[in-house]
Amino acid sequence: MNHAGRLTSTAAALVLLVAMAPVARADNTQGITASSIKIGNLGPFSGESAVFNPLNYGPEAYLRYINDQGGINGRKFETIFADDACNEAKGIAAAKKLIYEDKVFMIIGHPCSGVAMAIKPMVDKEGVPWVGLSANPKITNPVTPSMFHVGYTGIASGEAMAGFALSNPGVKKIALVQHSNDWAHGYCEPATAIIKKNGGEVVVDAALERGSTDATAQALQVKASGAQAVMGCLYQPELVVLLRDLHKFGVNVPVLGALGADFEQTVAQVNDADAVKQIFFQPYQFKSPLGQGSLKQFHDMFLKYLTKDELPKSGEPTNFYYFGVPAAIVTVEAIKRAGPDLTREKWIAAMESLNKWDTGVFADTETITHDNHDGVHLMYAVGVSAEGKETVYKSWGKPAE
């Protein structure tokens, strides 16, 4: 009994010791040395959502480009990738490794919304800068000091989708077709709010799950309802299926896709001009068509700095690369503005100083303040004109430039 007693009391003492000990906080120049800045790049590199990792490779290409130019203030970027497989438990492990073991300066990423919500308390508590691209606006609303959205959230996109549909005179009845997941709801819920606010009516709310091979029931519901436009909050394969089946049953109303699909690939995979001409539109985040105009330099950047495995099989960067790259562009700009004595606080202040700043990629300029960490809001729409040409529109029937 004595021996066990001593063992137990030693154990109890240890427990008390550890339990009382305050956790060492990461300091605010963590990840910064005289010659390098460590960036954690968090995202789904395995599993079902691996198809979205171009969102992670886009910004990485830009960081490699900056390194090629000599870095910022003598510091080059060192990226540490971490896989979350779009799973909360794994995502927390990945984030903890980045923050506590690799000791990164900040996290870029687009953790899936579930992961972002799961790591948010820790990121907030540790004050780690976070620039992300997940759809769920709850991550930056209400504002947490160190987390920023520099891409279009689901709110902005959903509003753009609904706004564009409603800009077509006479359109009041709208149908929703969406996945039963948080990503899709992140687009279709704000869209619904805008529709109702403008006196419109949601006449159908149909679910079309991932992996569906056809959308007959959904298309017929749309047809039966007399809807004048459709919000398709779907990933690319299902969007293709929906467009095909709507056309099959003679439902030729405008269909607004969400940002989970690449516009050009979708049009190509539907493979039927009549199914998309003046029918398929997507909110358009960019200033120019992909790879052209001001986006051409990024097209070349992706091809130059990304490896074969980091690019799609076709070799042509899809829209997710462009969607992701501003995370790095804005981060680098804030690092520039923060000056050579870089700290987290200075970086955050620099981010909040951005006012109508042009990333060169997005249609809208970035405006970030202390109370608003969602940088961009306004979007255009892209569609296929009556002549079959990819065209960017300001609103229904009004092409941009």
Partner 1 sequence: MLSFLPQLVVSGIATGMLYALMALSMTVGYRATTVVNFGHGDMLMIGAYASYVLVAGIGLPFGPAIVLAAALLFLLGAAAQRLLMQPIIGGPHLSLAMMALAVGYALRGVARIEWGNDVLKLPRAYSSGVFVLGPVVVTTDDLVISGVVLVLLAALFLVFNVTAVGKVIQAVFQTQRGAALVGINVKAFHATMWGAGAALGAIGGVLMALIVPLTPDIGVATLVRGFAAMTLGGFGSLQGAVIGGLLLGIMEKVLGFYVSTVFIDITAYLVTILVLLIRPKGLFGQHATLRI
Partner 2 sequence: MRVGRRPYWLIPLLLLPVPLFLDQYQQYVANLILVYVPVAVGFNVVVGNLGLLAFSNVAFFGIGAYTAGILMLKLGLPWWVTVLPAGIMGGIAGATAAVPALRGVRLFYLAIMTLAFGELMRWVYIRWEPVTGGSFGMSVPEPSVLGWALDVEARKFYAFLVLVVLMIVLTDRLLRSRFGRAFVAIKGNEEAAAAMGIPTDRYILLGFAWGGFVVGIGGSMYAALVGHLSPSSFDLTELILQFAIIIVGGLGSLVGSVLGAALLTAAPEFFRDLPGFEELLFAVLIIVVILFLPRGLASLLGRVHPVFNDRYFRE
Q: Give me the residues that bind partner 2 (CB under 8 A), please.
A: 4, 7-8, 11, 14-15, 17-19, 21, 23, 45-48, 50, 81-83, 85-90, 92-94, 96-97, 99-101, 113-114, 117-118, 121, 136, 138, 180-182, 184-186
Nearer to partner 2, 181 or 372 (CB): 181
Q: Which listed option, partner 2, partner 1, none, makes contact with residue 99 (CB within 5 to 8 Å by class)?
A: partner 2
Q: Using CA atoms in the order 272, 283, 258, 159, what is the torsion angle rounded to 10 degrees?
A: -140
Q: Could you tell me the smallest distance in angstroms from the CB atom of residue 114 to partner 2? A: 4
Place of tokens 């042009």: 358
Q: Residue 273, interface with partner 1 (CB under 8 A)?
A: no
Task: Choose which of 12, 13, 14, 268 interacts with partner 1 (CB under 8 A).
Answer: 268
**DSSP string across 140-196:** TSS--TTEEE-S--HHHHHHHHHHHHHTSTT--EEEEEE-SSHHHHHHHHHHHHHHH
Q: Residue 87, interface with partner 1 (CB under 8 A)?
A: no
**Collapsing DSSP states into helix, strand and coil, what is residue 297?**
helix
Q: Residue 237, interface with partner 1 (CB under 8 A)?
A: yes
- Dig out the tokens for 107 from the structure: 């996290």
Q: Which listed option, partner 1, partner 2, none, makes contact with residue 212 (CB within 5 to 8 Å by class)?
A: partner 1
Q: Which listed option, partner 1, partner 2, none, makes contact with residue 88 (CB within 5 to 8 Å by class)?
A: partner 2
Q: Could you tell me the smallest distance in angstroms from the CB atom of residue 47 to partner 1? A: 8
Q: How many residues bind partner 1 (CB under 8 A)?
A: 43
**109 and 45 in contact (C-beta within 8 Å)?**
no
Nearer to partner 1, 31 or 43 (CB): 43
Q: How far apart are the first and last CA of the chain?
A: 87
Task: Choose which of 134, 218, 331, 391 interacts with partner 1 (CB under 8 A).
Answer: 218
Taking the CA atoms of the chain, what radius of gyration do you get in angstroms? 23
Q: Which listed option, partner 2, partner 1, none, makes contact with residue 147 (CB within 5 to 8 Å by class)?
A: none
Provide the 8-state DSSP code for 97.
I
Q: Residue 54, interface with partner 1 (CB under 8 A)?
A: yes
Q: Which listed option, partner 1, partner 2, none, makes contact with residue 118 (CB within 5 to 8 Å by class)?
A: partner 2
Long-range contacts of 309-314 (CB under 8 A, 24+ apart): 310/57, 310/60, 311/57, 312/54
Nearer to partner 2, 75 or 120 (CB): 120
Q: Could you tell me the smallest distance in angstroms from the CB atom of residue 181 to partner 2? A: 5
- Dig out the tokens for 340 from the structure: 């050579």
Q: Could you tell me the smallest distance in angstroms from the CB atom of residue 5 to partner 2? A: 12
Q: Residue 314, interface with partner 1 (CB under 8 A)?
A: yes
**Positive or negative: CA dihedral 335, 340, 346, 352:** negative
Upstream peptide bond of 317 is cis (omega within 30 degrees of 0): no
Nearer to partner 1, 67 or 265 (CB): 265
Q: Distance between CA 309 and CA 311 in Å, rounded?
A: 5
**Collapsing DSSP states into helix, strand and coil, what is residue 99?**
helix
Nearer to partner 2, 89 or 217 (CB): 89
Write phi, then psi, for 78 (nearest 5 degrees).
Answer: -120, 115
Q: Could you tell me the smallest distance in angstroms from the CB atom of residue 344 to partner 2? A: 18
Task: Choose which of 9, 33, 35, 216 interacts with partner 1 (CB under 8 A).
Answer: 216
**DSSP string across 360-401:** SSBSSPB--BTTB-B-----EEEEE-TTS-EEEEEETTEE--
Nearer to partner 2, 27 or 272 (CB): 27
Q: Residue 313, interface with partner 1 (CB under 8 A)?
A: yes
Q: Residue 272, interface with partner 1 (CB under 8 A)?
A: yes
- Dig out the tokens for 91 from the structure: 């995502």
User: Where along the sequence are the contacts to partner 1 (CB under 8 A)?
Assistant: 46-48, 50-51, 53-54, 180, 206-214, 216-218, 220-221, 224, 236-237, 240-241, 244, 248-250, 262, 265, 268-269, 271-272, 309-314
